[in-house]
Each structure stands twice: as C-alpha cells, then as structure tokens.
Amino acid sequence: MSDQRFVLAGVMGWPVAHSRSPVIHKHWIAKHGLKGSYVQLPVQPENLEDAIRGLKALGFAGCNVTVPHKVRAMALMDELHPVARRMQAINTIVVREDGSLYGMNNDGAGYVQSLRDADPAWRGDAGPVLLLGAGGAARAIVVALLDEGAPEIRICNRTRDKAQVLADEFGPLVKVVDWAEREDAQAGVSLLVNSTTLGMHGQSPLELRLDALPVQALVSDAIYIPLETPLLAAARVRGHRTVNGLGMLLNQARPAFEAWFGVMPEITPELRAAIQATF
C-alpha cells in the first residue's frame, strides 16, 4: 500500500451547489493519480468561524472560500499573502503543518491570466479600464490591473459609496463613475469588465448600450454561468474580442491546487471539456 497521504480540500460558500471548483480539482486529482478529494462545504454565514476553525480537526489541507465569505474569512487567518492583504479578501485557505491558517487570493492573477490566454499580446497599460461592480471580484481585479500598469480604472457601481471605498483605498488612478454614467464612461477605454452579478444565470441582464465603446476594446465578464452572458453576446456581435469568467476560475485554481496537493496542474482542453459538459 502506498504511504501517500489522503488530501482533503473543498469550497466553502453559501450557497455552493453551483460551483464548478469540484469539477476542476477532482479532474486534477485523477489526472495526477493523487489520493484525495475536493468537496462542497455549504456553510451559512453564522457558522463561518466554527467551520474555518474546524478545518484542521477534520483533516483538511485547506479550502477555497467563495461568496459571501471572502472578506470575513480573511480576519480568521493567522497569516495573509501580501496580495490578499491588499485585496482585503481571500479565496483560498491553506492549513499548514502546525495547524495555522494561511490566506491567499488568486482571483486577480487568475483574471489577468485569462485575458493573456485569450490574447497573448494583451497589455494592462494599453488604456483606461471601465470596471462595473465594486464587490469582492472587483477588489481582486483592481489590484491585479494596477499591478499590470493600468493607467486609469473607472469604477462604476450601483452603490456609489462602495466604489468610493475602492478609490480611497487604491489611490488616484482609480476613479468613481455614477452608475447612470456607465455608457458615457466607455469612451476611450481599452477594457470593459463586468464584475457585477448582472447577467449571471437567474439574475437580470446587465442593461448596457455599447455605442461609446471603442471597437478595439476587449470586453470581459467575471461570470461563467452562462459562459456567454448577454453582455458578451452583444459585444461579440459588435466585433469586440470577449473573455468569459471560466478562464479566471481555472487560473485561480492552479496555485490553490499546488498549495494543497503539491503539484502545479495544467489547464487542458480535456479539463475545459469536462466543465463545459456540466452546463
């Protein structure tokens, strides 16, 4: 019998049934012939602290953290990766040998890599960005785009105050735009990003005319259910290059898997096909 340790990981959120993370990690566990599993961890907000404190006792190597726990879970970590500290949110917990908890956030790097996968010539300093939304995904995307040299990020959120918090936190390159101005604010941008939940399966579509958007602008959506949101469909019809949220999900998963299972996995056509088969 092999002495290889059984490694347990999962995704903690409320709800989590929609998450495709189990498909991704189980695919990699099988592909690398590892002993382990990746499970759904549906945890209500009032049970978050108990659930996180219980990871070590239950033998978990760690877990992903998703909506609505990304910010509160951060406060329960013993140590944070510097990027997670700047984002003030985590999406991955690693339970270390001594039982201490290490928090990381791979969403921003995963997002940027998804743009590069779609367009290897993509450059963060190509021009201003219009970012719709100011939630957890937006925080990660702002930090990652600033690190890529974005000259200006216009944040437009239904609740203006939340966009203002990001602008105050991340400095003068981040500007606040009223939600009502989301069409005029497209002028001159090289990248339009939707990080709201609008357009997600079961939610209203994002109401957005693209008339002011330069034709060469890249249009991306953090949503991956459906793979093509109404925004991306409208952008494609207009001739824009589009990037859906699946690449972000896949790319953020790689370093998490490596931290738990000790192998840096690859995003292959077979993995993409396995996920697409679940839609």
In angstroms, the CA 213 to CA 191 distance is 9
Q: Which of 11, 73, 198, 267 binds ligand NAP (CB under 6 A)?
A: 198
Least CB distance to ligand NAP at residue 33 (A): 27
**22 near ligand NAP, rule: CB under 6 A:** no
Give the Cα separation of 261 and 31 in Å (integer). 12
- How far apart CA 145 and CA 191 sit, in angstroms, is 10
Q: Print the binding letters for residues 54-83 with ligand NAP: x by CB under 6 A, - otherwise.
A: -------------x----------------
Of 9 and 198, CB closest to ligand NAP: 198
- Selected binder of ligand NAP within 224, 257, 260, 261 (CB under 6 A): 224
**Which residues neighbour 5 within 8 Å (Cβ) at sequence distance 6 or greater?**
35
C-beta of residue 68 within 8 angstroms of C-beta of residue 13 = yes
Of 6-14, 49-57, 190-198, 257-265, the segment contacting ligand NAP by CB under 6 A is 190-198
**124 near ligand NAP (CB under 6 A):** no
Applying CB under 6 A, what is the total number of residues that bind ligand NAP? Answer: 24
Q: What is the helix (H) or strand (E) element at residue 156, kind and residue range?
A: strand 153-157
CB of 34 to ligand NAP, least distance (A): 23
Give catalytic residue positions: 70
Q: Which residues pair with 79 in a beta bridge?
A: 102
Query: Residue 98 or 279: which CB sits closer to ligand NAP?
Result: 279
CB-nearer residue toward ligand NAP: 162 or 241: 162
Q: Which residue in the set 101, 134, 174, 259 belongs to the binding site for ligand NAP (CB under 6 A)?
A: 134
Burial 148-175 (b: 16+ CB within 10 A, else e): bebeebbbbbeebebbebbbeebeebbe
Q: Which of 207, 111, 106 is nearest to 150 (CA)?
A: 111
User: Using the rule CB under 6 A, which residue among 218, 252, 259, 271 binds ligand NAP?
Assistant: 252
Beta strands 62-65 and 7-13: pairing type?
parallel
Note whether 92 binds ligand NAP by CB under 6 A. no
DSSP state of 86: H
- Among positions 104, 137, 176, 259, the unique one binding ligand NAP when judged by CB under 6 A: 137
For the CB of residue 269, give the shortest distance to ligand NAP in the complex, in Å: 19
CA distance 186 to 154: 9
The residues of the shown chain that bind ligand NAP, judged by CB under 6 A, are 67, 107, 133-138, 157-159, 162, 195-198, 200, 222-224, 245, 248-249, 252
